[in-house]
Chain A
Amino acid sequence: MTQVFKLSRRSFLAGTAAAGGLSLGLALPGAAQDASDSTPELNAWVVINPDNTVVVRVAKIEMGQGTLTGLAQLVTEELECDWDNVTWSYPTPGENVARDRVWGSFGTFGSQGIRTSQQMVREGGAAARAMLLQAAANRWGVDAGDVTVAKGVITGPDGATLTYGDVATEAAALEVPTEVTLKDPSEWTVAGTSVLRLDTADKLDGSRKFAIDLTQPGMMLGAVKQTPVLGGKLVSYDADAVMDMPGVQKVMQIGEDTVVVVADTWWRAKTALDALPIEWDLGENATFGMDDLDAMLDEGLTASDAFVGNEAGDVQEALSGAAQVVEAVYHYPSQHHATMEPMNAMALVTDDRCDVWVATQNAETDLAVAAETAGLEIPQCDIHRINLGGGFGRRASASDYTVIAVKVAMEMKGTPVKVIWSREEDSTHGAYHPTTKARMRGALDADGNLTGMHIRISGQSIFAGLMPFALEDGMDPLTFQGLQAESTEGEFGYTVPNLLVDHAMRNPPLRPGFWRGVNNNQNAFYLECFMDELADAAGKDPLEFRRGLMQDHPLHLAVLEKVAEGIGWDTPAPEGRYRGLCQHMGYGSYVAAAAEVSVDDRGNLTIHKIVAATDPGHVVNPQQIEAQIEGSFAYGLSAGLLSQVTIEEGQVQEENFDTYPIVSMWEMPEVESHLIPSGGFWGGVGEPTIFVATPAVMNAVYRATGKRIRELPLNKHDLTPA
């Protein structure tokens, strides 16, 4: 079935051709850089060069997740150009503003890269194809319905051919169609296939410039040091002590809590900063430690007030009338993003202009922040988007790097300044995965049926710490990710007649942020490990127990059945190996995992294999989704097995990878991925599978050792057999 979509005028540019008749609606400056005489812009998404190369404009940013390639595939599919001729470019947020946000949101987070822009880019491709075919038909004096196209070569009724490049200029002068017909995904030939990424080659020879690598003539480098305790302030520093050190240009205070040394190289700036005598007033959080955090979260587990995220029936009645009540307390610690490229940004400020070169997941926010910081109007500023050396939500959580780079550059007008965080400063000034505990209580009847469940979450809210304006009457709805009723984003996958999910918000002095998977990580860990506890208490097989609760959730169940089949749940595991499984829904996709592990007599865990299944509705590039599944497992298992951020005397203790270990080649399991798109919706793929790796492994660890791992990471626990 094909779908017909009405194009809104907003989706496209006004149909009046700009001077020269080569491009559409380019009345505003800044938009014309790809629309010179030789490069006709068919619409905001598509530019076709006379040599037939097709430039796909990409609004989302690439940080390794493959969105750039996926979006280009979708455009190519509808445009029917030759994939081998496709290349890409990034519009800037300034151009987006100038063109009435023709590209929609640049925000690249929440596993939205494909799903929130697929419609626009497919329409863009289809509209451009229609215009190109019309232009060829006009040239030949035939009806557009009588011309065909394959791989960018248009064929007329008499067999004559023209390429897209031949007619691009004429096409750009035509009216934008008001209606286009999109292909049904079953007809796709480029989208839906495992083409290689468009952005690999320059990652292999050092030629790719990350933001940290950029240089400009006259550039200076800044090293930054911020208050070691959240809320602390700078009292004084002795610039004279370092001004004579090699290369040092300037020592400056930025805001109330930051010192920056600027030098001609970053190493010299950092060396001087390390030698700089600094006095801090660490403020009221300077005594806060892990004992305080524990007490704070424990108190919330039984507090009388809590925000309700999901409620059905009467859970108290179910608990008091139960044949058996199962209770357990779980804990998920803080985590740092630890992007491999440390935070950095370069800014150049003059009296009437501010430009920033930065790796960001949300360049429009950086633009607003840069303009505000510089005291300029938005048209006087722009953000030059550079592909990220890892994002994972850190570069969507706070624009601190942009603010500080602009402030430093304001002190040195006319000089481009690149500010780089050392790994230690990056690690101790993160936007951390929120830390919570959960008190789980389940009511079983005499037949082992789950009649009620209370999930009390106690702990940190991202919205409260990062964007309080998003709270709803004080409640952070994001806390309940994956535990909500009837949500297309992340729905609770079980039917429990009496259910209460509530949140006692307790915020420790650590800046929270969106960390790949976000609140689904702990929610899936709590729920799916507890489900295994309930199954055991009910005397049932974990899969069978879940199945009984999932009859009204067929898509949740389908991925779970898939991994059970993949791991061979119905057949015994090989000698000495043990299995666990779980499922969860988030970012619009259904995901499940089954792990097979062994634990040796010294307590060492080996994860032999994890089978993953995902139903994201539609699949644009299978091999890239598989890469995301593997990557999400490495990221999720880092938190599950190895890493945590702790705080003592108000200060983050883990400064570098030696104390914040992450999964390496050594721990990485084999991953078997099953993609089972069921159609009808568009879910994300960058994050969802991260939720399920850890609970599947911990459930398997219990089978192997008899130890319930309710506190992460696993390396806090001794798995040595008694």
Chain B
Amino acid sequence: MQTLTVNGNNLEVDAEPDTPLLWVLREQLGLTGTKYGCGVAACGACTVHIDGMPVRSCQVQLQDVRPEETITTIEGLSPDLSHPIQQAWLELDVPQCGYCQSGQIMAAAAFLKDYPDPTDEDIKAGMTNLCRCGTYNRIKAGIKRAAELS
């Protein structure tokens, strides 16, 4: 048994210590908003925040998460879609299929903290998550809109 702090809750987890955090979140904790895309750190669909930093959760094993670390998943980003990224995404109809968007939103939310007034070049360099539907230009516009809303 290991205790994780996820979205403000202390949760007991019963999984093998080398289980990726992605699958602990999805299968042990039922937080399926965090997505499996590649399992090899290539797509970003599994992005969550650990202590506010964006992390590809397929690359973090359960045993590597320290008890004092706090994990935020897409389900915990805001209680009511009120995060500026979520607001901007709604306003601009950013998602297509939506599968990558949990990861995109978590990556964008972390990016926006580092770059509160980002240029196109900042966004191009900083947003590396893949979207097979090709929503990139709206993601870029969405981040800029979120910067205005923040």
Interface positions of A (Cβ within 8 A of B): 63-66, 196-197, 199-210, 212-213, 215, 221, 246, 265-268, 271, 338-342, 387-392, 420, 422-423, 623-624, 627, 630-635, 656-658, 662-666, 668, 670-671
Contact = CB atoms under 8 A, between A and B. Distances in A.
Given A205-B77, A630-B135, A389 B40 contact: no
17 contacts: A65-B96, A200-B94, A200-B98, A201-B81, A204-B95, A204-B105, A206-B74, A206-B75, A209-B32, A210-B98, A213-B26, A267-B15, A340-B97, A341-B97, A423-B38, A630-B134, A634-B133
Nearest to A342: B36
Contacts of B31: 206
Contacts of B20: 267
Contact of B102 (A201, A206, A423, A666): A206
B45 A207 contact: no
Nearest to A657: B42
Contact of A390 (B94, B105, B132, B137): B132
Given A221-B27, A265-B27, A391-B97, 9 more contacts: A64-B98, A64-B133, A200-B90, A200-B95, A207-B33, A213-B32, A387-B98, A664-B128, A665-B124
B75 A634 contact: no
Nearest to A215: B30
A658 B127 CA distance: 17
Given A64-B96, A630-B135, A670-B137, A267 B27 contact: yes
Contacts of A212: 32, 35-36
A715 to B, nearest CB: 16
Interface string B133-149: 11111111000000000
A205 B40 contact: no
A203 B136 contact: no
B43 interface: yes
Interface string B81-118: 10000100110011111111110010000000000000
Interface string B1-24: 000000000000001100110010
B98 A205 contact: no
B57 interface: no
A265 B23 contact: yes
Contacts of A267: 15, 19-20, 23, 27
B28 interface: yes
Interface of B is mostly: loop
B36 A627 contact: no
Contacts of B42: 656-658
Interface residues of B, number: 59
A265 B28 contact: yes
B75 A390 contact: no
A670 B141 CA distance: 11
B99 A657 contact: no
| Nearest 9 A/B pairs, CB to CB | A206-B33, A634-B134, A64-B96, A389-B99, A203-B98, A64-B97, A631-B134, A213-B32, A206-B74
Given A664-B136, A665-B124, A204 B86 contact: yes
Nearest to A659: B42
Contacts of B96: 64-66, 627, 631
A142 B56 CA distance: 66
Nearest to B125: A666
A632 B134 contact: yes
Given A656-B38, A662-B130, A665-B136, A387 B97 contact: yes
Contacts of B45: 340
Interface of B: 15-16, 19-20, 23, 26-28, 30-40, 42-43, 45, 73-75, 77-78, 81, 86, 89-90, 93-102, 105, 123-125, 127-140
Interface centre among B36, B100, B129, B135 (most CB of A within 10 A): B36
Contacts of A205: 33, 74-75, 77-78, 81, 86
B125 to A, nearest CB: 8
Contact of B39 (A203, A423, A632): A423
Contacts of B101: 203-204
B132 A668 contact: no
A390 B36 contact: no
Interface centre among A64, A204, A209 (most CB of B within 10 A): A204
Given A64-B97, A64-B133, A340-B131, A665 B123 contact: yes
Nearest to B78: A205
A206 B86 CA distance: 11
A665 B33 contact: no
B90 A201 contact: yes
Nearest to B86: A204
Interface centre among B45, B75, B90 (most CB of A within 10 A): B90
A361 to B, nearest CB: 12
A342 B58 CA distance: 15
B28 A340 contact: no
B132 A662 contact: yes
Contacts of A246: 16
A668 B75 contact: no
A420 B37 CA distance: 12
B95 A266 contact: no
Nearest to A670: B137
Contact of B95 (A64, A656, A658, A670): A64
Nearest to A391: B97
A390 B45 CA distance: 13
B135 A206 contact: no
A202 B86 CA distance: 11
Contact of A663 (B15, B34, B93, B134): B134
B40 A658 contact: yes
B123 A657 contact: no
Nearest to B33: A206
Given A206-B31, A423-B39, A665 B23 contact: no
Contacts of A200: 89-90, 93-95, 98
A633 B130 contact: no
A208 B35 CA distance: 11
Contacts of A201: 81, 90
Nearest to B75: A206
A232 B39 CA distance: 27
Contacts of A392: 132
Contacts of A197: 93
A278 B37 CA distance: 26
Contact of A206 (B73, B132, B137): B73
A391 to B, nearest CB: 8
Contacts of A627: 93, 96, 135, 138
Nearest to A635: B134
Interface centre among A202, A210, A657 (most CB of B within 10 A): A657
Contact of B136 (A202, A423, A657, A668): A668
A207 B31 CA distance: 9
A50 B89 CA distance: 32
A124 to B, nearest CB: 25
A389 B131 contact: no
A205 B135 CA distance: 17
A339 B32 contact: no
